[in-house]
Amino acid sequence: MFPDQRGPASRAVSACLARALEDPSAAALALLARRDEDALDEARARDALRTLAPGDEPLAGMALGVKACFDVRGWTTHAGSRVLSDAPAAAEDAPLVRRLRRAGAVLLAQNNMTEFAYGALGLNATFGTPLTPCMADAPRVAGGSSSGGAVAVARGMVNLALVSDTSGSARIPAAFCGVAGFKPSRGRYEDAGMTYLSPTFDVPGIIAMDAAQCLRVDKALAPRPDAGSPARLARAAAPLAGLNFVVPDHVEDMLDPEVRRAFSAWLQCLMGAGAALRRVPMPCVAQSGLVARDGGIIAAEAYMLHAPRLAKDAARYDPRVGPRMLLGAQVPAHAYLAAQRRLAELRREYDAAMAGADAVLTPTVPMLPPTLAQLEDNDAYLRENSRAFSLTEFANRLDLPSISLPGDLADRRAVGLMATGLRGGDRALLAAAVRIEAALGAAARRRNRFPHSFAE
């Protein structure tokens, strides 16, 4: 139905539509609104124009999915909720969507998400829950809140997903689905036209197949280099032997056995490739999440944004979202402000602890994706939900760029390796992530070529 085309845009869109046809049930859960024929027509037109007048389209050949919390002209920005499902369609694209399209990406679909981005596991009671393609033993969640984008990228239904990240919403589903998810420093990407959960912590993010693709998108969206040290950026793009990584010494005790084994193997691989690595106490990493939760920052801000709707439409909210937002009405102003002040102090502590280091390395998530059955009980859901963002949230609380990498490029498992850098050092972090991926990929190729040499 969707024959291959000659130009890069047409080939990309045709391939994505073909992959969606291969698994219509997964596509229905990941892609909520689609423009199949319009996307093909646009792709053909772009290819034809490029032949006649080659232009600067750095994202040519990428089919784009957009999380349902961003405005797209003609689609309802419902943020995964029936509360907004009958709202008027957006009159224009969000500025970031416009920039991606002007850079050559072809808009293909709107992606599913956790209602109002308030959840780290990807459940959605209204539109259905996307499932990770990485584990077939039982129906397992894809992670949230950007569940649909991660599944769509992992299954080849889009090449790039525009997402948001409040506590790990780009990186958790990327890890659970075996792809890459990037959260930038605040202000790097325009956030107008994005439905907020928490204005303090929300940033737009990217999900793509690997770090190299994330770097390609970042160069299109933020063409100027980092404001930080040119020497740091140059070192990040050099061989891995020039990089210095730190591991917070409390992290490995948090991990399930499968994740701990994978993380240990990745660290051994990176040290074998010449990277320097040290384990250090970093209390600011652990404390930042506790401070934000004790201060009720997200709950208070979510309640502030949703109070008028909750007053008249609370029953229409997901029962795992609305009641948690209502708790924000109980947050004292002094606790909220004290938490904001303490986070500013912790940011300075992190900066001092990172002197001479290029990135913090941790797993993205301490456990494998839970099954749907494991999350039926509400207490179990809340426990696993908090655990899912226990390693990702410090990057949001301390305003740091952070990327989840598929640790095994040859066999994309539901475990991610996360690198978190220095505030404003987004390009340096992405360049380092590409080098990390290259080292892990080389190790995987050696394992495949000489499997007996790597037997445990």
Quote the number of domains for the chain. 1
Q: Tell me if residue 229 is catalytic.
A: no
Buried b (16+ CB within 10 A) or exposed e, 202-219: bbbbbbbbbbebbbbbbb
In a domain, 4, yes or no: no
67 catalytic? Reply is: yes
Give CA–CA dist 150/113, Å, rounded: 10
Asked if 153 and 179 count as a contact pair (C-beta separation under 8 A), the reply is: yes
From edge to edge, which strands make up the β-sheet containing 244-248? 31-34, 106-111, 63-67, 160-165, 203-208, 180-183, 402-406, 416-420, 359-363, 244-248, 276-280
For residue 263, tell me if it sits in a domain.
yes
Indicate the DSSP class of residue 90: P
Residue 1 has pLDDT above 60, yes or no: no
**Confidence (pLDDT) at 227:** 66
- Domain around 36: 10-454
What is the band of 453 on the pLDDT scale with cuts at 50, 70, 90? Answer: very low
Q: Report the distance separating Cα 231 and Cα 425, nearest Å.
A: 12
Around Cβ 273, how many Cβ atoms within 10 Å?
18
Residue of 14, 169, 288, 390 with catalytic role: 169
Token reading at 84: 């907004």
Q: Comparing 37-51, 220-234, 383-397, which segment has the lowest mean pLDDT? A: 220-234
Nearest CA-CA partner of 442 in 277, 274, 233: 274
**Is 147 a catalytic site residue?**
no
Judge whether 393 lies within some domain. Answer: yes
Residue 66 pLDDT > 90: yes
Q: Look at residues 66, 59, 64, 63 and name the one whose alpha carbon lies nearest to residue 12.
A: 63
Instruction: Using alpha carbons, select from 127, 122, 125, 95 the residue that is nearest to residue 110.
Output: 127
**CATH of residue 226:** 3.90.1300.10
Give just the sign of the alpha carbon dihedral 380, 382, 385, 389.
Answer: negative
Residue 241 pLDDT: 87
Both tokens assigned to 418: 């996360």
pTM of the model: 0.95
- 178-232: per-residue pLDDT in tens? 999 999 999 999 999 999 999 999 999 999 999 999 999 999 999 877 766 666 6
Mean pLDDT value across residues 414-433: 97
- Mean pLDDT, range 47-56, rounded to an integer: 85
Q: Could you tell me the CA-to-CA distances from 394 to 133, 292, 360 in Å, in that order? A: 27, 10, 11
Residue 194 lies inside a defined structural domain of this protein: yes
Q: Please tell me the predicted confidence (pLDDT) of residue 441.
A: 87
Q: How far apart are CA 224 and CA 431, in angstroms?
A: 14
Question: What is d(CA 325, CA 303) in angstroms, rounded to the nearest whole number?
Answer: 5
In a domain, 5, yes or no: no
Backbone angles phi, psi at 140, to 5 degrees: -125, 145
pLDDT digits (tens, 9 = 90+) for 147-189: 999 999 999 999 999 999 999 999 999 999 999 999 999 999 9
2 within a domain of the structure (yes/no)? no
Mean pLDDT over 117-128 rounds to 98
Cα–Cα dist 56/98, whole Å: 15
Mean pLDDT, residues 397-423: 92
Residue pLDDT, tens place only, 250-271: 999 999 999 999 999 999 999 9
Determine, yes or no, domain membership for 101: yes
Q: Which of 67, 164, 390, 404 is catalytic?
A: 67
Question: What is the CB neighbour count within 10 angstroms for residue 326?
Answer: 17
Query: Looking at residues 140-151, what average pLDDT do you find?
Result: 98
With respect to residue 3, please indicate whether it lies within any of the assigned structural domains. Answer: no
What are the helix (H) ranges across 23-139? 24-30, 36-52, 95-102
Between the alpha carbon of residue 117 and those of residues 112, 143, 220, 362, the distances in Å are 10, 11, 26, 23
Confidence (pLDDT) at 117: 98
SS (H, E, C) 207-244: EECCHHHHHHHHHHHCCCCCCCCHHHHHHHHCCHHHCE
Q: Is 117 left (phi over 0), alpha (psi -120 to 50) or beta?
A: left
Taking the C-alpha atoms of residue 13 and residue 158, their distance in angstroms, rounded to an integer, is 8
What is the number of other CB atoms lying within 10 angstroms of the CB of residue 385? Answer: 22
- CA separation for the pair 407, 245 (Å, rounded): 16
Q: How far is CA 208 from CA 105, 157, 202, in A?
A: 13, 11, 19
**Three-class SS state of 425:** coil
Which contiguous run of DSSP H or E holds residue 309? Answer: helix 297-313
In the set 14, 81, 145, 164, the catalytic residue is 145
